[in-house]
Chain A
Amino acid sequence: MNPRHDVDPHEGQGTSHEPTPTIWPVGFAVGIACIFVGLIISKVVLVVGAVLTAIFGFLWIRDATRPFRGEEAPAEAEPPPARPRPPGTRATGPDPGEGEVVRFPRSKFLEATTLGLGGLIGVIVTAPVLGFTILPPFIKQGHPKVDVGAIEDFPENKYVIATFMLKPADGEVSRRTAYIRNNGFLDQSPSFTILSNRCVHLGCPVQVNGLPLAEETKTEKTATNTVTRIPTAAAAGFGCPCHGGQYDTEGNRTAGPPVRALDRYKFEIVDGRLLLGNTFSVSEVDGTGADAKIHTYPLAGPGQHVDGPEAWLYPVQPPR
């Protein structure tokens, strides 16, 4: 016979032979650990540890001395009484029938502790791994400003095809193309139209519907970047080779599947040099050149509407 079954489940309860079950030693141990860690790294942790130790030590002592002080132990779930095994039967396996197992309150505590600690360890291990998988794509996604040349390199009212590395540290994989048109001056300040060449249908590279003057290509090496500028003659707009999207010279969609106008780069002029900043999205452009009215939105991915009811499908954009 299994010796477990000979034990009276109520033995030790209500007598002073064994302490009543209590959870406070866990907190007490955490407090001690904090004291040791605090001794090494910080006084704040030391104080926190001392406070925890004092509180949980007091609670533990209060629980442990309860029988001596004549108080009733807190009610425990009564274990089912052990049924005596019928004579002549024998255990069929290592684990006798489920209902016959004597369950001590302590075993319940151990069960809960094992499950709880196991779950906690699982979370502690899984959370950083999941975060490492998912979070880096959303952190530090910006890019430095890109110097694409002096203002004089961009003739008025002609598109120039400029290619450059958006993040020189990433190398050629970050190479981008922008279509840059010098619109002359608007109220004494220079005006540029700078279109991203990424089609707003699904991100293919749109091409100039016109004549790139390849023999006039200029390549300029800056400190961190290599910029190529190809002037164009008579650009009548832009077209995408993948699915046939068409845009006019302001980047407005004229045909095909794109859902808005071409994205644009913010720009600034420092010491006569044209610097490209972040991109933003445009629903449409009224007018042309320096007088155009541009309906701007925060950058959205290709194929995503920025205005109208369809834009409700994309209420939050990842940080850029």
Chain B
Amino acid sequence: MAKQKPSRLDQLVYLLMYPLNWLEERSSIPGRSGLVGGVKYFLFRKVPSDISWGHTLGSAALTAFIVQAVTGVILAMYYKPDPNSAYESIRNITDNLWAGWLVRGMHKWGASVFIILLFLHMGRVFLYGAYKYPRELNWIVGVLILVLGMLEGFFGYLLPWDQTAYWATVVGVNLQATGPFVGPFLGDVLRGGAEIGPDTLARFYSLHMLVLPGALIALILLHLWLVVRIGVSSPPWSPDEFGRPQPGPPPAPRKGLVEPAPRNGRLVAPVGRGARRR
């Protein structure tokens, strides 16, 4: 028995963790840095057995965000946020630089892909009821991510500095400025003045590539942390009640997954095994 061949998964885990084990051995008392444990906890955690491709939409949106971040950083190496040279620098990226059209295209179309994936992910969570107790907080964090993602789109739209970008931003900012009481002031703060001027472009650029991505990364990390802590929920029709609040005394916390504590029997979702019996 002791000489049983390791399974495929064990081999894969060994290979993946090899560099991290190497680091951990040389950085601390073995097993104390939390590096290996943390990565295992994140990557090899338990999930319900009957999850589907719908559950991958969140990871897909995360991938789209990473693509946006990487292509955005590269575009920032060539883009000039100045009213007199912004449009020319965009043309230079698109027409002259090697594969510039591709990277700019990835950033431009990837922006739409990111928002679409956010909505699909949101729809999956909504239709599966996965936003319910104890995951309401993560729904709220997700909504904030959606709002910031759309703001990214709004601020990024001005950067090509062509007629479409200019007038779309004029309309967009004036729309904000019709908000009651503080609207006119909000509009001026967004534009950096009474009208779109030389400061507006740099202001939008700073918000688009520094402020909002920073906030987004923080919120995404919080979102992921909550997913890992609370666990993935089963589909509502699932006989597998894993990851679902159960009646009865709270189970002892398991390593790798914190079971949500049930509030009481009455409020537990009437689906799963019990529902099937009815």
In whole Å, how far is A174's beta carbon from the nearest beta carbon of chain B?
Answer: 6
In whole Å, how far is A145's beta carbon from the nearest beta carbon of chain B?
Answer: 17
Partner of B181, one of A137, A314, A320: A314
Number of B interface residues in the complex (CB < 8 A)? 26
List A270-320 residues whose CB lies under 8 Å from chain B. Answer: 300-304, 313-318, 320
In whole Å, how far is B180's beta carbon from the nearest beta carbon of chain A?
Answer: 4
**Residue pair B83, A204 in contact (C-beta under 8 Å):** no
- Does A128 touch B at the CB level, under 8 Å? no
Stretch from A53-61, A165-173, A230-238 at the B interface:
A165-173
Task: Tell me the complex Cα distance, A202–B198, Å.
Answer: 20
Task: Tell me the complex Cα distance, A18–B128, Å.
Answer: 69
Partner of A318, one of B170, B175, B184: B184
Q: Chain B residues with Cβ under 8 A from A173's Cβ? A: 83, 196-198
Partner of B183, one of A141, A202, A204, A314: A314
Q: Chain A residues with Cβ under 8 A from B183's Cβ? A: 301, 304, 313-314
A184-209 contact mask (Cβ, 8 Å, vs B): 1 or 0: 00000000000000000011110000
Q: Contacts A141-B194, A170-B197, A172-B83; is A242 near B171 (CB within 8 Å)?
A: yes
**Residue pair B180, A313 in contact (C-beta under 8 Å):** yes
List A142-183 residues whose CB lies under 8 Å from chain B. Answer: 166-167, 170-174
**Residue pair B175, A137 in contact (C-beta under 8 Å):** no
In whole Å, how far is A297's beta carbon from the nearest beta carbon of chain B?
Answer: 13
**Residue pair B189, A300 in contact (C-beta under 8 Å):** no
Task: Tell me the complex Cα distance, A203–B183, Å.
Answer: 15
Task: Tell me the complex Cα distance, A97–B258, Å.
Answer: 28
In whole Å, how far is A194's beta carbon from the nearest beta carbon of chain B?
Answer: 17
List B110-166 residues whose CB lies under 8 Å from chain A. Answer: none
- Does A138 touch B at the CB level, under 8 Å? yes
In whole Å, how far is A139's beta carbon from the nearest beta carbon of chain B?
Answer: 9
**Residue pair B184, A171 in contact (C-beta under 8 Å):** no
**Residue pair B194, A136 in contact (C-beta under 8 Å):** no
**Residue pair A301, B178 in contact (C-beta under 8 Å):** yes
- Does B241 touch A at the CB level, under 8 Å? no
**Residue pair A203, B171 in contact (C-beta under 8 Å):** yes
In whole Å, how far is B192's beta carbon from the nearest beta carbon of chain A?
Answer: 5
Q: Contacts A171-B83, A174-B195; is A318 near B188 (CB within 8 Å)?
A: yes
**Residue pair B188, A137 in contact (C-beta under 8 Å):** yes
In whole Å, how far is A134's beta carbon from the nearest beta carbon of chain B?
Answer: 6
List B68-111 residues whose CB lies under 8 Å from chain A. Answer: 83-84
Number of A interface residues in the complex (CB < 8 A)? 30
Of the listed residues B84, B194, B196, the one surrounded by the most CB atoms of chain A closer than 10 A to its CB is B194
In whole Å, how far is A56's beta carbon from the nearest beta carbon of chain B?
Answer: 43
Task: Tell me the complex Cα distance, A103–B98, Å.
Answer: 68
**Residue pair B198, A301 in contact (C-beta under 8 Å):** no
- Does B225 touch A at the CB level, under 8 Å? no
Q: Chain A residues with Cβ under 8 A from B84's Cβ? A: 171-172
Task: Tell me the complex Cα distance, A203–B187, Å.
Answer: 12
Task: Tell me the complex Cα distance, A303–B184, Å.
Answer: 10
Q: Chain B residues with Cβ under 8 A from A172's Cβ? A: 83-84
**Residue pair B185, A318 in contact (C-beta under 8 Å):** yes
In whole Å, how far is A227's beta carbon from the nearest beta carbon of chain B?
Answer: 18
Q: Chain B residues with Cβ under 8 A from A242's Cβ? A: 167, 171
Q: Chain B residues with Cβ under 8 A from A141's Cβ? A: 193-194
The 7 closest A-B pairs by CB, nearest first: A313-B180, A303-B178, A203-B174, A173-B83, A202-B171, A137-B188, A202-B174
Interface contacts beyond A242-B167, A301-B187, A316-B184: sample of 12 additional A-B pairs, CB < 8 Å, sorted by A? A134-B189, A141-B193, A166-B195, A172-B83, A173-B196, A202-B170, A202-B174, A203-B170, A242-B171, A301-B178, A304-B183, A315-B181
The 19 listed contacts between A and B (C-beta, < 8 Å) are A134-B189, A137-B189, A138-B185, A138-B188, A141-B194, A167-B197, A171-B83, A202-B174, A202-B175, A203-B171, A204-B171, A301-B187, A303-B177, A304-B178, A304-B183, A313-B180, A314-B184, A318-B184, A318-B185
Chain B residues engaging chain A, CB cutoff 8 angstroms: 83-84, 167, 170-171, 174-175, 177-178, 180-181, 183-185, 187-189, 191-199
Chain A residues engaging chain B, CB cutoff 8 angstroms: 133-134, 136-138, 141, 166-167, 170-174, 202-205, 242, 300-304, 313-318, 320
